[in-house]
Amino acid sequence: MRALGGLLAAALVVSACGVQPTSSRPTSPAAAPVPAGFTRYDGTKLGFAIALAPGWMEASSDPGSGASFAGPTGLAMLIHFERSVSTDLDVATGAVLFDLTGGSGVGGSRVTAATLAGRRAKRVAGRFNGPEAVTAIEAYVMVESGRAWTVALAGPPDAVNHSHDDFEKMASSFSLVGARPAPAPRAAVGLPAPGFTELDRIKGPVVINFFATWCVDCRTEMPLIARRAHFSQGRFSLLGVDCCDDNRSAVPGFLGGLGVQGDFRLLAYDADGHVARTYGLLGPPTTFFLDREHVLRNVVIGPLTAGTLEAGLKAAGAA
């Protein structure tokens, strides 16, 4: 789970435990009017401003990712930015919500078109298994200049439902201000892929497949991708990255049991997780498609199908 899920979990704990958060910071006299009883939060150094409803206060902030807020009755609100995995709003929203929920996804979600800070956005509402109980979530996600911005409310379902109107007013007051923040480095479609030792040795298009021996979906997709690599006539290189607290010694037997050991002859072992963090990995399997200049052209989160594999290879100029 990346930092986004951890920040939301921490914010929920702060709200549930009643820890006294820091106070909101008033903005300059020139700020736009806010709803009656609300307080303007000036996050200029974080790139945004928002009006907080009564009972809401800042819990924490980070200049590289955003801020979290503690509200009444165990509620938490997260305003987060990161480098978007894609310019496609649907793809970016899916990645953000996967991460927000620690990989469980939003059950029974309702996804609608919306706006955030005057830009096209997606609004998602549903439930997921939170740190201690079922958690309701309402979130807005938008993509701006390569950043994915998220404004999310989470907490007990009844409390989220009761605070719906306040959250809508807070979200509608959200605006981008000051200099745009620089998200922490991570892989992003359209940008050069972060280098690491094994990747830097390869020339031409590359398919990077993150896997783990305990991953059921990895077992399903590996024969497919290995077979495609075998018959590619060298149009691309397949680099497998064993990740996610896996047992390195189990990898040869795992690949051999699937009959793909020879096709995954290019391997990297991400023992300390630094490659996964750099690539913003949500979990295995995840596949990154790099063109001949090692610019990231496509990402598939979850198991590959014949169709998504071909689409990724085509995007990378390796079909």
Per-residue pLDDT tens for 229-241?
A: 888 888 999 999 9
- CATH of the structural domain 197-315, one choice from 3.40.50.970, 1.10.10.60, 3.40.30.10, 2.40.128.130: 3.40.30.10
d(CA 17, CA 11) in angstroms, rounded, equals: 10
Q: List the domain boundaries for the chain.
A: 3-176, 197-315
Residue 85 confidence (pLDDT) = 76
pLDDT of 185 strictly over 70: no
Residue 84 confidence (pLDDT) = 85
CATH code for the structural domain at 3-176: 3.40.1000.10
Residue 33 confidence (pLDDT) = 65
Confidence category of residue 76, pLDDT binned at 50, 70, 90: very high
Residue 72 confidence (pLDDT) = 86
pLDDT of 14 strictly over 60: no
For residue 182 the two structure tokens come to 């620089």
Per-residue pLDDT tens for 92-110?
A: 998 888 777 766 677 778 9
Per-residue pLDDT tens for 129-168?
A: 766 678 899 999 999 988 999 999 999 999 999 999 999 9
Mean pLDDT of all residues belonging to the chain: 85
